[in-house]
Structure 1
């Protein structure tokens, strides 16, 4: 399937007063780094091959996915059905949400991090790093409830853009995430819709989160104080994470050999990584890979890095026990929470794990990573 422009849905009754979208500055793609960095050697899989009528083609695709998820926990996917125009427009929205709205207009919509929720703004500078340097990260997060009766939920400047945001987020969930989960299910030797069935089908994007994000350069003194780390090594809290590839190099993954490797930009691709919930559900067969964000190479060090991330989550009430229905998990998996269970407890639900990790994130990001 060739890339398509995403249709914009008709706003709901709650958005009936939304006016014509404002003119916002275009996102201009920066040049790629010319530096020869130690790049991660990641698999690139074309999701369109899932539609192949040739069993051998599908078998090779599943085999490659299984290897990538077992060894790296990261891979690229293409064939997402997102046009270059749509991608640039949404990166422009990320740019606008982080730099085009005054701080005083963002404050009422700050996320309740202490309550374990990212919905709304994570404002720049609220976390301190080594040497007292404020963080350089800002993001705006939307969930299914963000699109229901939106008046009062968002800064007024965002409301005219909400239908575009919903269209992009919904396509990512119901087309891209759906097909990725189908591929992962097959890699687990399960029926192809098995994992999709563990994700919430209600609302625009189920239990998922769509993030519009910016990282902003700091001066040399601040970079020295933080060791050039913009976001310390971590795993994600959900099932799978999707990052639409963009030109500024800053993402690194930790290889099985314990080495940090840069993730290279692949035009039109999505970077997919296994997150905690999928690791728990697979009994550790597919591991959540640690990754971090660092200062870009010198020829990109002064460029704002805008990104689009979609965090797929299983149903919030789903207990994160291994999927013993999978022959692969049954043969090789182990319960990640066996000690809790032996002590009379139980594995957490997706919601419990999510809230626990979000509450801890600010404290974790204050720590200095060597």
Structure 2
């Protein structure tokens, strides 16, 4: 599928987004919280404008590709702008996230609880089902939508969400077919591949291929629980897909682990999307672009009592794709290694995206952090499908 075809698909999607806002269903608005006034150790991340991909000046494009390659190699995190999503649309979808998480009664969510034990996030991951340090229940809840959830909405969503599904679908489709597509185009060019190469490894059918759109909320906890968990809301980890997109919002809680092994805060950038590389992209690039270790901690004191609603999109390669390095890339060919070489040498094969995704989801929330397993730097390691995976405090 060519860039022209993708552009033709995505252009009316923006208009659809605008139309949905005009005729929106009535739900409580999302109220923008103030930025923190705390001076925090911020991560220094690149901000790249996706609109520069359309430049006719070769030097502009080359500088953009160079900056992307540096960001993906060093940090694995970057900001992108030029997404085609206005503040009005962003705030409306944060209101939908707020409603999906905090506006639907618990008993109406239960029939749509995700089958985590089967390796699926589709539906609700309900709050409090995982136990953290000291036996403290987790304080996060999310609602996950995949392409299949838009095919027969009445079977997949609570009745109170049904009037909002057209808006959700427009936003998810735009994120996938416009924003994800253009980011993958940039990453392909950074790998010295044809610009549509990585997009060709992703599914193009359905609202968002094999990807996942998530509405999520982190809820404040009391001081006792915060002390028991050292203020950590989601321990350091990598994501399981190709690239993850987080629409930037004002509450500071996300941290990344720098190459210097320091946790740094990710600052809010108005109108931007925070992008990070995930496991599948690390495997496909032979470790050239490493999956970024990140965590969520209690916000600074002036934001600590506010529910943090966020919008995330997890792009995934085709579920049947084996996660071997892309040797077509000169960069990967020169520097890459197969993450599953030991498994292959023993007569096995690299896992597919689906196998890796399901196994990691099954284990999520059940990591063991007892003192017998911790290393001196606080990390815990386990083997997943022949690959060592580290978790961080």
TM-score by length of 2: 0.89
Task: Name the structure 2 match of 1:324.
Answer: 327
SS in 1 for 2:154: coil
Distance 1:56 1:296 in 2: 40
What are the ranges of 5 or more consecutive residues in structure 1 without an aligned counterpart?
12-19
**Does the CA-based 8 Å contact 1:232-1:365 persist in structure 2?**
no
Distance 1:85 1:366, change over 3 A: farther
Number of positions where the alignment pairs a residue of Structure 1 with one of Structure 2: 361
Distance 1:154 1:365, change over 3 A: farther
Q: How does 1:88-107 map to 2 (within 5 A)?
A: 88-107=91-110
Distance 1:163 1:201 in 2: 19
What are the ranges of 5 or more consecutive residues in structure 2 without an aligned counterpart?
1-6, 371-377, 379-391
Q: 1:192 aligns with which of 177, 183, 195?
A: 195
Q: How does 1:296-315 map to 2 (within 5 A)?
A: 296-315=299-318
Task: Name the structure 2 match of 1:270.
Answer: 273
Distance 1:186 1:140 in 2: 33
Shift of 1:23: 1.5
Distance 1:57 1:362 in 2: 44
Task: Name the structure 2 match of 1:286.
Answer: 289
SS in 1 for 2:360: helix
Please say if 1:108 is aligned against 2:111.
yes
**Does the CA-based 8 Å contact 1:253-1:260 persist in structure 2?**
yes
Distance 1:283 1:268 in 2: 32
Task: Name the structure 1 match of 2:383.
Answer: none
Task: Name the structure 1 match of 2:76.
Answer: 73
Distance 1:283 1:152 in 2: 40
Distance 1:65 1:327 in 2: 16
Q: Which runs of structure 1 show a deviation greater than 4 angstroms over 4 or more consecutive aligned residues?
A: 8-11, 365-370
Shift of 1:152: 2.0
**Does the CA-based 8 Å contact 2:37-2:302 persist in structure 1?**
yes
Please say if 1:227 is aligned against 2:236.
no
Shift of 1:150: 1.2
Q: 1:148 aligns with which of 148, 151, 162?
A: 151
Distance 1:59 1:178 in 2: 18
Deviations 1:257-310 (A, max 9, x none): 100000000000000000000000000000001000000000100011000000
Task: Name the structure 1 match of 2:263.
Answer: 260
**Does the CA-based 8 Å contact 1:106-1:121 persist in structure 2?**
yes
Shift of 1:132: 1.1
Q: How does 1:108-257 map to 2 (within 5 A)?
A: 108-257=111-260
Distance 1:74 1:365, change over 3 A: farther
Please give the root-mean-square deviation of Cα atoms over the aligned residues, in Å: 1.9
**Does the CA-based 8 Å contact 1:273-1:289 persist in structure 2?**
yes
Distance 1:96 1:251 in 2: 22
Shift of 1:22: 4.0
Distance 1:21 1:151, change over 3 A: farther
Distance 2:368 2:200 in 1: 33
Distance 2:302 2:369 in 1: 27
**Does the CA-based 8 Å contact 1:185-1:191 persist in structure 2?**
yes
Q: 1:342 aligns with which of 332, 345, 349?
A: 345
Please say if 1:7 is aligned against 2:16.
yes
Shift of 1:86: 0.5
Distance 1:365 1:44 in 2: 36
Distance 1:10 1:44 in 2: 29
Shift of 1:365: 7.8
Shift of 1:140: 0.2
Distance 1:82 1:279 in 2: 28
Shift of 1:21: 5.9
**Does the CA-based 8 Å contact 2:127-2:141 persist in structure 1?**
yes
Distance 1:303 1:61 in 2: 36
SS in 2 for 1:158: helix
Distance 1:27 1:6, change over 3 A: farther
Distance 1:204 1:366 in 2: 38
Task: Name the structure 1 match of 2:52.
Answer: 49
